[in-house]
Chain A
Amino acid sequence: KAGVTQTPRYLIKTRGQQVTLSCSPISGHRSVSWYQQTPGQGLQFLFEYFSETQRNKGNFPGRFSGRQFSNSRSEMNVSTLELGDSALYLCASSSKSFGLAKSEETQYFGPGTRLLVL
Chain B
Amino acid sequence: KNQVEQSPQSLIILEGKNCTLQCNYTVSPFSNLRWYKQDTGRGPVSLTIMTFSENTKSNGRYTATLDADTKQSSLHITASQLSDSASYICVVSNFGNEKLTFGTGTRLTIIP
Query: Which residues of A come within 8 Å of B, CB atoms?
Result: 4, 33, 35, 41-45, 48, 56, 90, 92, 96, 103-104, 106-112
Contacts and interface: CB of A to CB of B under 8 A. Distances in A.
Contacts of A35: 102
B7 interface: no
Interface string B69-112: 00000000000000000000101010001111011110000000
Given A56-B99, A104-B31, A43 B43 contact: no
A104 B102 contact: no
Contacts of A45: 99-100, 102
Contacts, number: 51
12 contacts: A42-B105, A43-B91, A43-B105, A44-B102, A45-B102, A56-B97, A92-B43, A96-B98, A103-B32, A104-B49, A109-B43, A111-B42
Interface residues of B, number: 23
A35 B36 CA distance: 14
B49 A106 contact: yes
Contacts of B45: 109
Nearest to B48: A106
B46 interface: yes
B51 interface: yes
B95 to A, nearest CB: 8
A4 B51 CA distance: 25
Given A45-B102, A110-B43, 10 more contacts: A41-B104, A43-B91, A43-B102, A43-B105, A90-B43, A92-B43, A92-B44, A104-B31, A109-B43, A112-B43
